[in-house]
Homo-oligomer: A and B are copies of this chain.
């Protein structure tokens, strides 16, 4: 669908790369961390998504001939542009598994490559991972509430242009069952789903006739939209007539769809009409500005809705719209590196790292992840990353490293899991997260700390920069 090349980047990556190139630093090694600072939606967790799209792209990413010709028209040194013509990423990447439950501050992914390579891939890495993680997280929140109800993505028309393609995919990682987006369905093997538009009914002189044509032509896959003129006086009665005609032909109406008005009220009234007509097998689908909060309300009212179609609020990750994921230098030219900020919370954490998740005695997440030096194996105590006197003993917890090598020498080390496998992993991991982190209102804060060794290293670097 997309022809990404390495000009899908910010200019400054190229400007910096040119300086490194002209200074003879083409072999200088660097380590960058990818992490975010704020969990979206004021929530208690996020779902990491987009990794395998990114890795597959990265294996083949280069500058096209057209790119090179363009760069020669810009303010670059010709020898540098010629170097870019053969550029390929040949580094190493360690990352959490795609679908993992992740938290703020903690590195989700670490790139180890030449500093030129690491810079040139920064923008596309952030662009793809930030967005898919944002949407998978949104979808997983909706899934937590909708439970076993069917969830369909209807958002493409309001998506941020071609961003909608990845939104449909990330929604499945978060727990959606299908999408109306045919191209995403085709490319990612997602069940495609859809009903009919008001225009179909309007184009006929009679709603009944429109329903009838739809039912005879799509006997196995018929959902009738019942709110074009009057839901209870016209739409549902006509749907019932057509359902009876379908029964006479040995077919079954799948569902009706409500797309306006008070969905709880219309669902209950429609359910009654359908049941009274002996059509208890006909499902009810609902759409119209749904999000996790509207669905929570509908579920609490026991609205007899079987299928939720979610559009805009899902695919644009409303209200946040962006994950604030960043990519920060942790090591370069043989030394740990830091960026100082007036607030410790924005001071970066140096060094190659590992992240340990701790487990309680029941095998659930204990509520504490520890960022450690790469070579550490078991953590005794973790320290609050920004508040100097807070710490927590974690020695007694089972600990599991979260960062695994996913790319070596520019090649993926394993084949990509299927979308369904990623979704299953998300489901399994979320089941280990205690409820208090999943609630929408003031969720419990999952602790992310740093090991004693890493804290000493960071504080030493801060002191050396202060002098």
Tell me which of A23, A185, A322 has the highest count of chain B C-beta atoms within 10 A of its own C-beta: A322
Tell me, rounded to whole Å, the shortest Cβ–Cβ distance linking A41 to chain B. 13
- Segment with Cβ contacts to B, from A163-171, A269-277, A438-446: A163-171
What residue in chain B is nearest A222 (Cβ atoms)?
A: B15
Chain A positions near chain B (C-beta within 8 angstroms): 1-5, 7-16, 18-19, 22-23, 28, 30, 32, 66-67, 70, 74-75, 77, 115, 119, 122-123, 126-128, 130-132, 134, 154, 156-167, 180-183, 185-186, 192-200, 202-203, 205, 213-214, 217-218, 220-221, 228-230, 260-261, 312, 316-319, 321-325, 327-329, 332-333, 335, 337-342, 346, 465
B161 touches A128 (CB 8 A): yes
Q: How many whole Å from A14's CB to the nearest CB in chain B?
A: 7
Q: Are B15 and A218 in contact (CB under 8 A)?
A: yes
Given B15, B163, B202, B346, which contacts A196 in the complex, CB threshold below 8 Å?
Answer: B15
Q: Of the candidates B194, B202, B220, B465, which one forms a contact with A11 in the assembled complex, judged by CB atoms under 8 Å apart?
A: B194
Given contacts A197-B16, A316-B322, A346-B260, contact A8 B160 (CB under 8 A): no
Contact A18 B119 (CB under 8 A): no
Q: Is the CB of A160 within 8 A of B157?
A: no
- Residue among B19, B154, B325 making CB contact with A213, cutoff 8 Å: B19
The answer to whether A19 and B158 have CB atoms under 8 Å apart is no
Which listed residue (B75, B205, B325) contacts A221, Cβ 8 A?
B75
Contact A217 B123 (CB under 8 A): no
Q: Which residues of B contact A122 (CB under 8 A)?
A: 157, 197
**Would you call A213 and B159 a contact (CB within 8 A)?**
no
* Residues from chain B with Cβ under 8 Å of A346 in the complex: 260
Contacts of A163 in B (CB 8 A): 159-164
* Bound Cα distance from A183 to B217, whole angstroms: 45
A250 CB to closest chain B CB (Å) equals 17
Interface contact A203-B130, CB-CB below 8 Å: no
| Cβ distance A35 to chain B, nearest Cβ, rounded Å | 14
CB <8 Å contact, A340 and B32: no
Cα–Cα distance between A431 and B131 once the two chains are bound (Å): 36
Give A157 to B5 CA distance when docked, in angstroms.
15
* 17 extra A-B contacts, CB within 8 A, seeds A10-B182, A132-B161: A3-B3, A8-B156, A8-B182, A10-B156, A11-B194, A12-B180, A12-B194, A12-B195, A16-B199, A75-B220, A127-B161, A130-B157, A160-B161, A161-B165, A163-B163, A229-B465, A260-B342
Q: Is the CB of B342 within 8 A of A10?
A: no
Judging by beta carbons under 8 Å apart, are B194 and A22 in contact?
no
B16 touches A196 (CB 8 A): yes
B5 near A183 with CB under 8 A, answer: yes
Min CB–CB distance A194 → chain B (angstroms):
3
Question: Smallest Cβ distance from A186 to chain B, in angstroms?
Answer: 4
Q: How far is the CA of A415 from the CA of B126 in the complex (A)?
A: 36
Considering only CB atoms, which chain B residue lies closest to A28 in the complex?
B203
Whether A131 and B161, one on each chain, are in contact in the complex, defined by CB atoms closer than 8 angstroms, is yes
Determine which of B230, B261, B324, B333 lies in contact with A158 in the assembled complex, contact meaning CB atoms within 8 Å: B324
Q: Chain B: which residue is nearest A337 at the CB level?
A: B202
Closest chain B residue to A210, Cβ basis = B19
The complex places the Cα of A162 from the Cα of B193 at a distance, in Å, of 24
- Tell me whether B183 and A8 are in contact (CB under 8 A): yes
10 closest pairs, A vs B, by CB?
A11-B194, A163-B163, A160-B163, A12-B194, A160-B160, A126-B157, A199-B329, A10-B180, A203-B332, A316-B321
Q: A74 and B192 in contact (CB under 8 A), knowing A1-B3, A126-B157, A202-B337?
A: yes
Given contacts A12-B180, A218-B19, contact A202 B338 (CB under 8 A): yes
